[in-house]
Structure 1
Amino acid sequence: MSPILYMVIPCFNEAVVLDETSDRLKKKYETLIQNGKISPKSRIVYVNDGSNDQTWEKILEKHNASHLFSGINLTRNRGHQNALLAGLMTVKNLADCVISMDADLQDDIDAIDAMLEQYNDGFDVVYGVRDNRETDTFFKRNTARLFYKVMKILGSQSVPNHADYRLLSARALDGLEQFQEVNLFLRGMVPMIGYPSATVYYKRGKRFAGESKYPLKKMMSFAIDGITSTSATPMRMIFWTGLAVFVLSVLTGIYVLISHSIQGRTVLGWSSTMVAIIAFGGLNLLAIGIIGEYIGKIFLEVKQRPRYIISDFITDDGTEKKK
């Protein structure tokens, strides 16, 4: 029996690309259904993440034009990861498998075929991994490489060059649902599920239209969230760095005492003293900042605020149901 495939696509101010995205996905779905690779019950679900343009109106328009399209409307902007999770959790009991992707058409939709093949071979998680970063700027390409190297050093299980283009089976979604943290980093959470996984490589294209939703400031914030949400290694690094500095200070103190008592001289030097003060002051501020990042996350977690609130969910009968 052909699997029921749902696609979940978070949208924030994506009105300018939804026509093209919908046309391409509709053709892909029709071909897959005709070839018996997916069930006619399969759907494409757009998640409106509090957009302030005509995104939700576009989603309603697409649904009215074709039963293939559905939509979820969040009460306000909750961020890409929360919007994605909202879609996944809403449709997980309606589908055999779910593919998530962005609306900007940078992810190659032809890779869906290969993902379905891997799913049929028994894999619960299929990662869409870009085969190169030729379309990126020099800065973004090298900072991305640095990010994945740092993540690996810190013990994160994230998949290099993988964003949020992936297939998850129904039982993988059940596993993901058990992760209750508020600070979401799905790229690091999905590998923790532990079910059999596979990789599909594809060529990532340029954004079809509109502007990137991840400028430098937001990318940096996302990277920090990714590291601190999946690894406690930075905290341990503070301990070992502090221990090393303590040992160094003890050895330096011993050296100064020996110089003064035995050799009759004391090492003097205003410059070296100032350098030491500035260095240790900076180290203390860095340590406090890292600890503060973790404390901030603890603060958000213990509040147990909802990660998202759904206003409307468009079903096949055309109604909008409050969730």
Structure 2
Amino acid sequence: MRPTTPCGQPDLVSIVVPFFNEADGIQLFHQTLRPILDSQPQVRFEVICVDDGSQDHTLEQLLALSGLDGRFRVIELSRNFGKEAALTAGIDMASGEAVIPIDADLQDPPELIAALLAEWRRGFDVVLARRVDRTADSFLKRTTASLFYKVHNQISTIQVPQDVGDYRLMSRNAIEALKQLPENQRFMKGLFAWIGFRSTTIDYVRHTRASGKTKFSGWRLWNFAIDGITSFSTAPLKVWTYIGGAGAVLSLCYASFIVLRTLILGVDVPGFASLLVAILFLGSLQLISIGVLGEYIGRIYLESKQRPTYIVRQRYGVADES
């Protein structure tokens, strides 16, 4: 069983919510979340709302919401750093004994919070929320997501649970372990999986987006997938050793064939088309391999700068821990 909180105080649970241009859905988010929080009188809640450089009225509405409901606290970042950075900022600011990241679009149902807390009280450090029905997502998104999980888990030693997003519960022990990971280019699903800890899974049906539209275009999802693979696997680098070795063997075999044919049949005029194809094919392979090297070198370059993952412009209702 999980240790009890000292002095008989109710457990403090932090809910971390990144926001980026979500002004149209903030009121609905609050209306949906408030009764769920009220239904857990044995728990104290803080809702860390991270404004990730929104360009609409998201910040103003979050501040108004914070004034109406003291459980809502607002972190304003200096610009748009991306969801992974905003999520990191919220987790860093959270002071609860458990932390629950959730999106503001209500695709991941807040009604699951009670079940997450129940499993946490049973002694689990991490409670995963797994999507068993993703019909709310497009066919292309479901297909590419499934392909990504399969490829990532095949080539990486860290297994990212399939159909599990950021929505989960993490104990304070897990959060403190996560905060020790210093990298700037963050693939949070992989970092969540890397820290380990005793975990369990709860299944749920993913809802349609309550308002607004997704901020992840196909191009951003592609780059996100590359970040995920290069963050936890060097297989893309290793594979070119085998491709180069196979090419060398094939080249040696073909050279031997040419020598034997010349000795038996005499000199033959080489075909221009076959020569051109061979040059273009090998040149393309070299460019691809350089591109893969570039991805890893680029990550090294960015990490070597040691820039902060995010910069906070202002905190509203959150105590400064510095």
1:206-236: CA deviations, max 9, x gaps?
1111111101111111111111112111111
Deviates more, 1:293-302 or 1:245-254: 245-254
Query: Partner letter of residue 6 of structure 1?
Result: S
SS at match of 1:28: helix
Kindly report which structure 2 residues correspond to 1:17-56, keeping only aligned pairs within 5 A, or say none: 17-33=25-41, 36=42, 38=43, 40=44, 42-56=45-59
Any unmatched runs of 5+ in structure 2? Answer: 5-9
| Distance in 2 separating the partners of 1:257 and 1:122 | 71
Is contact 1:43–1:69 with CA below 8 Å preserved after alignment?
Answer: yes
**C-alpha distance in 1, partners of 2:201/2:177?**
19
| Structure 1 residue 123 corresponds to structure 2 residue 131 | no
Offset, 1:263 = 4.1
- Give 1:107's aligned residue: 108
Partner of 2:153 in structure 1?
Answer: 152
Aligned residue among 8, 22, 34 for 2:16: 8
SS in 1 for 2:110: coil
Q: Deviations over 1:186-209 (max 9, x none)?
A: 101111102111111111111111
Paired residues of 1:147 and 1:223 also in contact (CA < 8 A): yes
Percentage identity across paired residues of the two chains: 37
State how far apart, in whole Å, the 2-side matches of 1:152 and 1:267 are. 49
1:106–1:206 Cα contact (<8 Å) kept? yes
Match of 1:302 in 2: 304
Q: For the Cα contact (< 8 Å) 1:312–1:321, is it kept in 2?
A: no
Question: Could you tell me which amino acid in structure 2 is paired with residue 58 of structure 1?
Answer: Q
- Which amino acid letter does the alignment assign opposite residue 122 of structure 1? G
Q: What is the Cα deviation at residue 110 of structure 1?
A: 1.6
* CA distance, structure 1, for counterparts of residue 294 and residue 124 of structure 2: 39
Deviation at 1:84, TM superposition (A): 0.2
Report which stretch shifted further, 284-293 or 141-150.
141-150
1:139 aligned onto 2:140: yes
| C-alpha distance in 1 between matches for 2:268 and 2:257 | 9
Match of 2:63 in 1: 60
Partner of 1:69: 72
The one-letter amino acid paired with 2:60 is E
Aligned-partner Cα distance in 2 for 1:267–1:151: 47
**Displacement after TM superposition at 1:321 (Å):** 5.7
**Amino acid aligned to 1:17:** G
| Inter-CA distance 167–267: structure 2 relative to 1 (3 Å threshold) | farther
Distance 1:122 1:241 in 2: 48
SS in 1 for 2:216: coil
Q: Distance in 2 between matches of 1:189 and 1:133?
A: 23
5 Å-filtered alignment, 1:1-323, equals 2-33=10-41, 36=42, 38=43, 40=44, 42-91=45-94, 94-155=95-156, 156-264=158-266, 266=268, 268-315=270-317
TM-score normalized by the length of structure 2: 0.93
Scaled by the length of structure 1, the TM-score of the pair is 0.92
Q: Distance in 1 between matches of 2:268 and 2:238?
A: 35
Q: CA deviation at 1:3?
A: 2.5
CA distance in structure 1 between the partners assigned to 2:280 and 2:134 by the alignment: 39
Matched residue type, 2:196: G
Q: Work out the number of aligned pairs and report it.
A: 313
Structure 1: how far apart are the matches of 2:202 and 2:264? 69
Runs ≥4 residues deviating over 4 A = 320-323
In 2, Cα distance between equivalents of 1:86 and 1:121: 28
| Root mean square deviation of aligned Cα | 1.7
